[in-house]
Structure 1
Amino acid sequence: MEKLFGTNGIRIEFLEGKYDLTRLTRIGEAIASFFAGGEVLMGRDVRSTSQALSRIIGGVLSMHGVEVHDMGLVPTPILQYLVKAEGYAGGVMITASHNPPQYNGIKVMGSNGVEVSRDEERRIESLYGEARPAKSFDHVKPIISVELDYLLKRYEEHLYDLLPMNAIKGRFTVAADFANSVASLVLPKILDGLGIRLKSINGHLSGLFPGRTPEPRQDTLAETARAVKELGVDFAVAFDGDGDRSMFMTGEGEVVPGDRSGVILANALLEESGGGYVVTPVSSSSVVKAEVERRGGKLVWTRVGSVDVSHTLMEIGGLCGFEDNGGFIWPRHHPVRDGISTTILMMHVLSKGGKSLSQYYSELPRMYIHRDRLEMPRDKALAAVDAIRREVGDAVTMDGVRVDYGDSWFLVRPSGTEDVLRITIEASSKERLEELRKWLYQRIGVQ
């Protein structure tokens, strides 16, 4: 059985010799068989290949008896919420999220608007391997265009029901780096309705992402951080390519890692609720566990990937979940990553707590961190992980290998979407960080 899904959805590299249309058609047929009829909501991000891929997959779904309601350009979390709110059988989002512009991909959601589980992914992969006859003309269902603005009101009304919006109206000046993608179609409208002053960065749409790479990281946000310092804002937020991740920055332009902003939000929710389960992948900082438990919460680790965090939250009735990459999941709203609602939630937390993001961040223990992505074939990445696992002994091995030493920890894992070995090292001192870095890289065979 061919492996189609990675950490988050199916990814395809649109370079010569890297893909073929027959394979794309078969993927569409497998998804159509999975839904087995019904109405499906479809959307896409701004990538140069997204419209064409949307038409291929949407056309195949239609030919196999699935009625497609096409939203066109839309952030993933908006589509996900509307799948559930409008009673669709499922959703299909054409996006490669944070990957470079030559990539594209497909995210498949169930009727609850959440990306399908790992078991359901395997079901689609098994359907991909099955031959299926073409359908007759009377089996074809229509493709219907749906206006984003028409459905967006449902999403906005839901946020107003969840949070006391009057408490944040007109209180903030915010900068947002939209990565030239679809979050810019939604957040400005919501903030305008709240009287929030917005300073837009990389706000025009472009499938080549000319402003910066669509993955918001410390290194890719250096230019954004310099701009934020000059803008005089309360805080800033940077989105990925499909708007489901939000990386925050202080008003001084300091990037707040996703697991730290996640802790700030989780702590506020724990104080409001009196406790609960907080879910995060093994890639998150050791600071997370200490902070969550200090406020009466219980931390649950998962594999890396919002799919695992979302489904774990639903299984255990968790309070919230988050990732170090800026993904935050608040099940009371919807158990999926949502960079837009997270931005509104952050304003609620800052307003209620009476502190700036900079103040909240300064109260967390500071650690020195090193992140790297080493390009290498997947088989070599797996071999490197196995070699380290054999040497360290006691480790968390649900996703790669993570070892905690008290004053430091590291995680080495193969990427689920690219031929990359991902490395995270965190330590309480620069010296310990460098010691661990040298030890790891020697065993991986990199200087």
Structure 2
Amino acid sequence: MGKYFGTDGIRGIAGEDLTAELAMAAAAAAARTLKASGRHVIVGEDTRASSDMLTSAIAAGLTAQGTDAWMAGVIPTPAVATLVAKNGAAAGIVVSASHNPYEYNGIKLFGPDGYKLPDAVEDEIETELDAILAGRSKVSSGRGNIGKVVDYSEGQAVYEDFLVSACKKGLKGLKVVLDCANGAAFSVAPHAFRRLGAEVLVLNDCPDGHNINVSCGATDPSGMAKVTGMLGYDVGFAFDGDADRSMMADEKGEIRDGDFEMLMLAKAMKEEDLLGGDAIVATPYSNMGLAEALKEMGLRLLTAGNGDRYVLEMMKKEKLNLGGEQSGHIVMLDAATTGDGVLTAIRLASLIASGKEPASVTAGRMRKYPQGQKALKVARKEDLEKADSVWEEVRKIEKELAGKGRVFVRASGTEPVVRIMVEAAEQYMVSEMLQRLTAAVEEVLS
């Protein structure tokens, strides 16, 4: 992680950490680094109250560099990646803080190929951004070199057409619940599913700028799952604020996370020879049960660093088409360049609509080991690496698990948080070990 860029772009509390001045300078730095003068950049946003302010600042930074800003409005993050590749844009910029609370916002960048920018390019942008903020460089590139702001709201329909085209057989007769998290998918997801013939019940599709991700969506899919089971729907899906994640509920109302989703997709993609190899890629947070279930199918589970960018790097290196995170951030390179929650939901719904078996049966092939996670707000997350007492406790727990479980402790790349995960054969072990690690972290970092 750099000075400004975390694991997924620039992120912070809008108006404090992430200001209009920073957004304008970041856009200008990106345009200069990517040599976008005379070309266009597609700009999208989620439904946060601060998104309009930040996209306006980004448009100013781009046009000051002689770059046209194509404003797509409220649209999922993966839509921008898709539109960049389709339109020959120099880059894509999304204003969103994904699953974070409304007071946060962020800036995500995509290159001209629709992929997130490599670390080396982000480093170049940071250097230029630093120069602008320090007064050694300017936002403007000179007299007469000024771009235009273009209304590109039609991009929403282009993305919707892309989603519909990804489901060849349609979803006629399928009953689906969609929780849109009062976020970027609130319009496009229901429209796409209905065009495919599904009967759709929509939850949390009334954004007011402040209710994004609040007790709903992929970070809290319990309400969606309850409705799916109680009303007898075939499947339910919950997206996060920018719709790059999707969590599923089966017909019984059981929540099925990204591990279950990857298992279902892996089974189908193997049958259709779409995997690109004999493996899929996940992160250390994926349940041990996923590896076991894949092994029964003749597949391997490769483990990348935490974060979708590292999953994607390994997928490209190993020439594999499926990877993702337990959070429901699933990447399918045979169809898209980044994680796409709505596309994931449509593919899973298509498998269920095919009538081969209900979601609970396919997902039931995976034994889920007891797992506990905590996100602890701390004052000094940057001191975690040097917190010897925490790592001593980690080593003790690993010795006790004796290879029959796992423990991970890491600092978040987007929030002032330390994340802890413990996985073991029995729930009582998970609870006790999680309590010990929580106490160790809080003692030295709070």
Q: TM-score, normalised by structure 1?
A: 0.89
Structure 2 residue aligned with 1:132, among 133, 137, 142?
Answer: 137
2:206 is aligned with 1:204: yes
Report the 3-state secondary structure (helix = DSSP H, G, I; strand = E; otherwise coil) of the residue aligned with 2:185: helix
Assess, with a 3 A threshold, how the Cα gap between structure 1 residues 183 and 288 changes in structure 2: closer, same or farther: same
What residue in structure 1 maps to residue 411 of structure 2?
414
Q: Which runs of 5+ in 2 are unaligned?
A: none
Letter in 2 for 1:93: V
Report the 3-state secondary structure (helix = DSSP H, G, I; strand = E; otherwise coil) of the residue aligned with 1:365: coil
Q: Give the whole-Å Cα distance in 2 for the aligned partners of 1:440 and 1:22.
A: 40
Which deviates the most, 371-380 or 433-442?
A: 433-442
Structure 1 segment 297-376 matched on structure 2, within 5 A:
297-352=299-354, 354-376=356-378
Structure 2 residue aligned with 1:145, among 134, 140, 151?
Answer: 151
What residue in structure 2 maps to residue 66 of structure 1?
67
Kindly report the root-mean-square deviation, in angstroms, between the aligned alpha carbons of the 2 structures: 2.7
Deviation at residue 18 of structure 1 after TM alignment: 4.1
Deviations 1:243-288 (A, max 9, x none): 1100111223221122222222123222332743311112211222
Deviation at residue 31 of structure 1 after TM alignment: 1.4
Report the 3-state secondary structure (helix = DSSP H, G, I; strand = E; otherwise coil) of the residue aligned with 2:200: strand
What residue in structure 2 maps to residue 118 of structure 1?
119
Deviation at residue 154 of structure 1 after TM alignment: 6.0
Q: Give the whole-Å Cα distance in 2 for the aligned partners of 1:340 and 1:139.
A: 38
Q: Give the whole-Å Cα distance in 1 for the aligned partners of 2:383 and 2:271.
A: 41
What residue in structure 2 maps to residue 76 of structure 1?
77
Assess, with a 3 A threshold, how the Cα gap between structure 1 residues 330 and 278 changes in structure 2: closer, same or farther: same
Deviation at residue 314 of structure 1 after TM alignment: 2.2
Which deviates the most, 277-286 or 137-146?
A: 277-286
2:429 is aligned with 1:427: no
Letter in 1 for 2:272: E
Query: Is the 2:370–2:426 Cα contact (8 Å) retained in structure 1?
Result: yes
Q: Give the whole-Å Cα distance in 2 for the aligned partners of 1:415 and 1:182.
A: 23
Aligned positions, number: 435
Q: Give the whole-Å Cα distance in 1 for the aligned partners of 2:214 and 2:374.
A: 18
What residue in structure 2 maps to residue 234 of structure 1?
234
Query: Is the 1:403–1:411 Cα contact (8 Å) retained in structure 2?
Result: no
What residue in structure 1 maps to residue 44 of structure 2?
43
What residue in structure 2 maps to residue 261 of structure 1?
261
Report the 3-state secondary structure (helix = DSSP H, G, I; strand = E; otherwise coil) of the residue aligned with 2:66: coil
What residue in structure 2 maps to residue 183 of structure 1?
185
What residue in structure 1 maps to residue 438 of structure 2?
441
Assess, with a 3 A threshold, how the Cα gap between structure 1 residues 153 and 327 changes in structure 2: closer, same or farther: same
Query: Is the 1:402–1:409 Cα contact (8 Å) retained in structure 2?
Result: no
Query: Is the 1:270–1:296 Cα contact (8 Å) retained in structure 2?
Result: no
Letter in 2 for 1:107: K
Assess, with a 3 A threshold, how the Cα gap between structure 1 residues 211 and 72 changes in structure 2: closer, same or farther: closer
Q: Give the whole-Å Cα distance in 1 for the aligned partners of 2:399 and 2:269.
A: 28
Deviations 1:212-266 (A, max 9, x none): 256623xx23333333333221111001001110011122322112222222212
Deviation at residue 10 of structure 1 after TM alignment: 0.8
Letter in 2 for 1:152: A
2:11 is aligned with 1:11: yes
Which deviates the most, 6-15 or 62-71?
A: 6-15
Structure 1 segment 140-179 matched on structure 2, within 5 A:
140-148=146-154, 152-153=157-158, 156-157=161-162, 160=165, 162-163=166-167, 165-166=168-169, 168-179=170-181
Q: Give the whole-Å Cα distance in 2 for the aligned partners of 1:383 and 1:443.
A: 13
What residue in structure 2 maps to residue 30 of structure 1?
29
Query: Is the 1:114–1:310 Cα contact (8 Å) retained in structure 2?
Result: no
Deviation at residue 383 of structure 1 after TM alignment: 4.1
Identity, in percent, stands at: 26
Q: Give the whole-Å Cα distance in 1 for the aligned partners of 2:123 and 2:414.
A: 16
Which deviates the most, 265-274 or 360-369?
A: 265-274
Q: Give the whole-Å Cα distance in 2 for the aligned partners of 1:354 and 1:118.
A: 43
Report the 3-state secondary structure (helix = DSSP H, G, I; strand = E; otherwise coil) of the residue aligned with 2:194: helix
Deviations 1:73-129 (A, max 9, x none): 111111111111121111001111111000111000001111112222222112212
Assess, with a 3 A threshold, how the Cα gap between structure 1 residues 93 and 408 changes in structure 2: closer, same or farther: same
Letter in 1 for 2:206: H
Assess, with a 3 A threshold, how the Cα gap between structure 1 residues 266 and 394 changes in structure 2: closer, same or farther: farther
Deviation at residue 8 of structure 1 after TM alignment: 1.1
Assess, with a 3 A threshold, how the Cα gap between structure 1 residues 230 and 392 changes in structure 2: closer, same or farther: closer
Q: Give the whole-Å Cα distance in 2 for the aligned partners of 1:353 and 1:51.
A: 43
Letter in 2 for 1:263: L
What residue in structure 2 maps to residue 244 of structure 1?
244
Report the 3-state secondary structure (helix = DSSP H, G, I; strand = E; otherwise coil) of the residue aligned with 2:337: strand
What residue in structure 2 maps to residue 295 of structure 1?
297
Q: Give the whole-Å Cα distance in 2 for the aligned partners of 1:123 and 1:403.
A: 45
Letter in 1 for 2:153: E
Assess, with a 3 A threshold, how the Cα gap between structure 1 residues 213 and 32 changes in structure 2: closer, same or farther: farther
Deviation at residue 191 of structure 1 after TM alignment: 1.4
Q: Give the whole-Å Cα distance in 2 for the aligned partners of 1:352 and 1:19.
A: 46
Q: TM-score, normalised by structure 2?
A: 0.89
Deviation at residue 403 of structure 1 after TM alignment: 10
